Protein backbone atom coordinates (compact mmCIF):
# COMPACT_ATOMS: atom_id res chain seq x y z
CA UNK A 1 0.00 0.00 0.00
CA UNK A 2 1.19 3.51 -0.80
CA UNK A 3 -0.16 6.83 0.34
CA UNK A 4 -1.61 8.89 -2.47
CA UNK A 5 -2.46 12.56 -2.93
CA UNK A 6 -4.94 13.55 -5.62
CA UNK A 7 -5.80 17.10 -6.72
CA UNK A 8 -9.30 17.76 -8.05
CA UNK A 9 -10.30 20.78 -10.12
CA UNK A 10 -13.43 21.92 -11.93
CA UNK A 11 -14.45 25.19 -13.58
CA UNK A 12 -17.41 24.22 -15.71
CA UNK A 13 -20.92 23.11 -14.85
CA UNK A 14 -21.93 22.59 -11.22
CA UNK A 15 -18.38 22.27 -9.93
CA UNK A 16 -19.31 21.54 -6.30
CA UNK A 17 -21.57 18.70 -7.40
CA UNK A 18 -18.90 17.39 -9.76
CA UNK A 19 -16.21 17.40 -7.07
CA UNK A 20 -18.45 15.49 -4.66
CA UNK A 21 -19.27 13.03 -7.44
CA UNK A 22 -15.58 12.56 -8.15
CA UNK A 23 -14.88 11.91 -4.47
CA UNK A 24 -17.69 9.35 -4.41
CA UNK A 25 -16.34 7.62 -7.52
CA UNK A 26 -12.78 7.59 -6.19
CA UNK A 27 -14.03 6.19 -2.88
CA UNK A 28 -15.79 3.37 -4.73
CA UNK A 29 -12.75 2.41 -6.84
CA UNK A 30 -11.19 -0.96 -6.12
CA UNK A 31 -7.71 -0.74 -4.64
CA UNK A 32 -8.11 2.86 -3.49
CA UNK A 33 -9.15 3.92 0.00
CA UNK A 34 -9.83 7.56 0.82
CA UNK A 35 -8.64 8.86 4.19
CA UNK A 36 -9.20 12.60 4.05
CA UNK A 37 -10.45 15.50 1.97
CA UNK A 38 -9.66 19.20 2.14
CA UNK A 39 -12.06 22.10 2.13
CA UNK A 40 -13.12 23.33 -1.29
CA UNK A 41 -11.20 26.40 -2.49
CA UNK A 42 -12.26 28.94 -5.09
CA UNK A 43 -9.16 29.73 -7.14
CA UNK A 44 -8.16 32.14 -9.89
CA UNK A 45 -7.26 30.25 -13.08
CA UNK A 46 -3.53 29.69 -13.63
CA UNK A 47 -2.37 29.61 -17.25
CA UNK A 48 -4.46 28.78 -20.30
CA UNK A 49 -7.00 31.06 -21.99
CA UNK A 50 -9.33 33.38 -20.11
CA UNK A 51 -11.64 31.04 -18.22
CA UNK A 52 -13.88 30.91 -15.16
CA UNK A 53 -12.64 30.46 -11.62
CA UNK A 54 -12.00 26.96 -10.44
CA UNK A 55 -13.07 24.99 -7.45
CA UNK A 56 -10.13 22.91 -6.22
CA UNK A 57 -9.69 20.33 -3.47
CA UNK A 58 -7.18 17.69 -2.43
CA UNK A 59 -7.96 14.11 -1.45
CA UNK A 60 -5.68 11.85 0.61
CA UNK A 61 -5.79 8.09 0.48
CA UNK A 62 -3.84 4.92 0.15
CA UNK A 63 -3.72 2.51 -2.71
CA UNK A 64 -2.54 -0.93 -3.71
CA UNK A 65 -2.67 0.12 -7.37
CA UNK A 66 0.40 0.67 -9.48
CA UNK A 67 0.70 4.23 -10.85
CA UNK A 68 -0.50 3.32 -14.35
CA UNK A 69 -3.56 1.54 -12.94
CA UNK A 70 -4.39 4.49 -10.72
CA UNK A 71 -4.13 6.80 -13.75
CA UNK A 72 -6.63 4.58 -15.56
CA UNK A 73 -9.02 4.92 -12.62
CA UNK A 74 -8.71 8.72 -12.44
CA UNK A 75 -9.01 9.15 -16.22
CA UNK A 76 -12.07 6.89 -16.29
CA UNK A 77 -13.74 9.09 -13.66
CA UNK A 78 -12.78 12.25 -15.60
CA UNK A 79 -14.38 10.81 -18.72
CA UNK A 80 -17.54 9.80 -16.88
CA UNK A 81 -18.02 13.34 -15.60
CA UNK A 82 -17.29 14.94 -18.95
CA UNK A 83 -20.07 12.92 -20.53
CA UNK A 84 -22.89 13.88 -18.18
CA UNK A 85 -22.53 17.66 -18.59
CA UNK A 86 -24.54 19.43 -21.27
CA UNK A 87 -22.44 22.57 -21.42
CA UNK A 88 -20.36 23.53 -24.44
CA UNK A 89 -16.90 22.11 -24.85
CA UNK A 90 -14.32 24.29 -23.15
CA UNK A 91 -12.71 24.51 -19.75
CA UNK A 92 -12.79 21.30 -17.80
CA UNK A 93 -15.68 19.86 -15.87
CA UNK A 94 -13.26 17.67 -13.97
CA UNK A 95 -9.50 17.29 -13.76
CA UNK A 96 -7.90 14.75 -11.43
CA UNK A 97 -4.14 14.94 -11.04
CA UNK A 98 -2.01 12.38 -9.24
CA UNK A 99 0.10 14.72 -7.14
CA UNK A 100 2.16 12.17 -5.23
CA UNK A 101 2.31 8.46 -4.41
CA UNK A 102 4.37 7.98 -1.27
CA UNK A 103 8.00 8.65 -2.10
CA UNK A 104 7.67 7.07 -5.52
CA UNK A 105 9.05 8.80 -8.58
CA UNK A 106 7.54 8.07 -12.01
CA UNK A 107 8.79 9.56 -15.26
CA UNK A 108 6.84 7.93 -18.08
CA UNK A 109 5.53 9.61 -21.26
CA UNK A 110 1.96 9.66 -19.93
CA UNK A 111 2.63 9.99 -16.19
CA UNK A 112 5.00 12.00 -14.02
CA UNK A 113 4.85 11.62 -10.24
CA UNK A 114 5.19 13.79 -8.23
CA UNK A 115 3.13 15.99 -10.54
CA UNK A 116 5.71 18.24 -12.23
CA UNK A 117 3.81 21.47 -11.53
CA UNK A 118 2.27 20.76 -8.11
CA UNK A 119 5.10 22.39 -6.16
CA UNK A 120 4.44 25.79 -7.75
CA UNK A 121 0.65 25.79 -7.60
CA UNK A 122 -1.04 27.30 -4.59
CA UNK A 123 -4.37 25.76 -5.67
CA UNK A 124 -2.77 22.37 -4.89
CA UNK A 125 -0.42 23.33 -2.05
CA UNK A 126 -2.92 25.23 0.12
CA UNK A 127 -5.58 22.49 0.31
CA UNK A 128 -2.88 19.82 0.67
CA UNK A 129 -1.27 21.65 3.62
CA UNK A 130 -4.71 21.96 5.21
CA UNK A 131 -5.26 18.19 5.33
CA UNK A 132 -1.62 17.15 5.78
CA UNK A 133 0.31 19.96 7.49
CA UNK A 134 3.63 18.08 7.51
CA UNK A 135 3.44 16.89 3.89
CA UNK A 136 6.58 16.86 1.78
CA UNK A 137 6.89 16.69 -2.01
CA UNK A 138 9.76 14.27 -2.70
CA UNK A 139 12.63 16.26 -4.18
CA UNK A 140 10.92 19.62 -3.63
CA UNK A 141 10.44 20.16 0.09
CA UNK A 142 7.75 20.85 2.67
CA UNK A 143 4.37 21.69 1.18
CA UNK A 144 3.80 24.38 3.81
CA UNK A 145 6.98 26.15 2.78
CA UNK A 146 6.32 25.83 -0.95
CA UNK A 147 3.05 27.78 -0.67
CA UNK A 148 3.34 31.15 -2.43
CA UNK A 149 1.32 34.26 -1.61
CA UNK A 150 -1.90 32.23 -1.97
CA UNK A 151 -3.58 35.41 -3.24
CA UNK A 152 -5.73 33.59 -5.77
CA UNK A 153 -6.84 30.81 -3.41
CA UNK A 154 -9.88 31.34 -1.18
CA UNK A 155 -11.36 28.76 1.14
CA UNK A 156 -15.11 28.28 0.71
CA UNK A 157 -17.71 26.86 3.06
CA UNK A 158 -18.39 24.00 0.62
CA UNK A 159 -17.55 20.69 2.26
CA UNK A 160 -16.93 17.40 0.49
CA UNK A 161 -17.89 14.21 2.28
CA UNK A 162 -16.17 10.85 2.32
CA UNK A 163 -18.98 8.34 2.17
CA UNK A 164 -18.88 4.92 3.75
CA UNK A 165 -17.73 2.39 1.24
CA UNK A 166 -20.59 0.27 -0.04
CA UNK A 167 -20.11 -3.41 0.83
CA UNK A 168 -18.95 -5.36 -2.21
CA UNK A 169 -17.87 -2.27 -4.16
CA UNK A 170 -14.23 -3.33 -4.13
CA UNK A 171 -11.38 -3.58 -1.69
N1 LIG B 1 -0.19 13.20 -16.80
C2 LIG B 1 1.14 13.17 -16.54
N3 LIG B 1 1.39 13.14 -15.24
C4 LIG B 1 0.16 13.14 -14.63
C5 LIG B 1 -0.23 13.10 -13.26
N6 LIG B 1 0.66 13.07 -12.25
N7 LIG B 1 -1.57 13.08 -12.98
C8 LIG B 1 -0.75 13.25 -18.16
C9 LIG B 1 -2.49 13.12 -13.99
N10 LIG B 1 -2.16 13.15 -15.33
C11 LIG B 1 -0.85 13.18 -15.62
O12 LIG B 1 -3.79 15.80 -18.64
C13 LIG B 1 -2.93 15.63 -19.75
C14 LIG B 1 -2.09 14.39 -19.54
O15 LIG B 1 -1.27 14.55 -18.42
C16 LIG B 1 -2.87 13.13 -19.25
O17 LIG B 1 -3.26 12.48 -20.41
C18 LIG B 1 -1.86 12.27 -18.45
O19 LIG B 1 -1.34 11.22 -19.24
P20 LIG B 1 -5.25 16.32 -18.86
O21 LIG B 1 -5.92 16.34 -17.54
O22 LIG B 1 -5.88 15.57 -19.96
O23 LIG B 1 -5.02 17.78 -19.43
P24 LIG B 1 -4.67 19.06 -18.62
O25 LIG B 1 -4.97 18.88 -17.17
O26 LIG B 1 -5.28 20.21 -19.35
O27 LIG B 1 -3.13 19.17 -18.85
P28 LIG B 1 -2.07 19.47 -17.80
O29 LIG B 1 -0.87 19.96 -18.53
O30 LIG B 1 -1.90 18.32 -16.88
O31 LIG B 1 -2.68 20.68 -17.01
P32 LIG B 1 -2.55 20.83 -15.49
O33 LIG B 1 -1.13 21.07 -15.20
O34 LIG B 1 -3.25 19.75 -14.79
O35 LIG B 1 -3.31 22.19 -15.28
N36 LIG B 1 -5.97 26.84 -12.39
C37 LIG B 1 -6.64 26.69 -11.23
N38 LIG B 1 -6.91 27.73 -10.44
N39 LIG B 1 -7.07 25.43 -10.83
C40 LIG B 1 -6.81 24.31 -11.59
O41 LIG B 1 -7.22 23.21 -11.20
N42 LIG B 1 -5.78 23.41 -13.60
C43 LIG B 1 -5.07 23.53 -14.72
C44 LIG B 1 -4.68 22.31 -15.47
C45 LIG B 1 -4.64 24.85 -15.19
N46 LIG B 1 -5.00 25.94 -14.31
C47 LIG B 1 -5.68 25.77 -13.18
C48 LIG B 1 -6.08 24.47 -12.82
MG1 LIG C 1 -4.40 17.37 -15.52
- Mean pLDDT computed over every residue of the chain: 92
Mean pLDDT over residues 49-56, rounded? 91
The pLDDT, as a whole number, for residue 53 is 95
Contact predicate 99/115, CB 8 Å: yes
Asked if the structure places residue 125 within a domain, the reply is yes
Ligand 1 mean position, distance from CA 39 (Å)? 20
170 in any annotated domain? no
Ligand 1 site residues (CB inside 6 A) read 9, 43-48, 54, 56, 95, 97-98, 110-113, 115, 117, 123
Q: What is the pLDDT of residues 61-114, one digit of tens each?
A: 999 999 999 999 999 999 998 865 455 545 778 999 999 999 999 999 999 999
Catalytic residue list = 83, 92, 95, 97
How many domains would you assign to the chain? 1
The Å distance, Cα 98 to ligand 1 centre, comes to 9
Q: What is the pLDDT of residue 83?
A: 67
Confirm whether 168 is domain-assigned.
no
Q: What is the pLDDT of residues 32-44, one digit of tens each?
A: 999 999 999 999 9
Residue 109 · residue 71 · CB < 8 Å: no
| CATH, residue 111 | 3.30.70.560
Query: What distances in angstroms separate CA 60 from CA 30, 51, 156, one per listed residue?
Result: 15, 28, 19
| Owning domain of residue 46 | 2-155
Amino acid sequence: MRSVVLALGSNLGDSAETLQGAVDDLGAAAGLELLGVSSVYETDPVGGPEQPRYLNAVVLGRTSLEPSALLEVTQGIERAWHRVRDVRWGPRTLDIDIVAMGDLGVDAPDLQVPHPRAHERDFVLVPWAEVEPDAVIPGRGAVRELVGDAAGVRRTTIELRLRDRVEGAGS
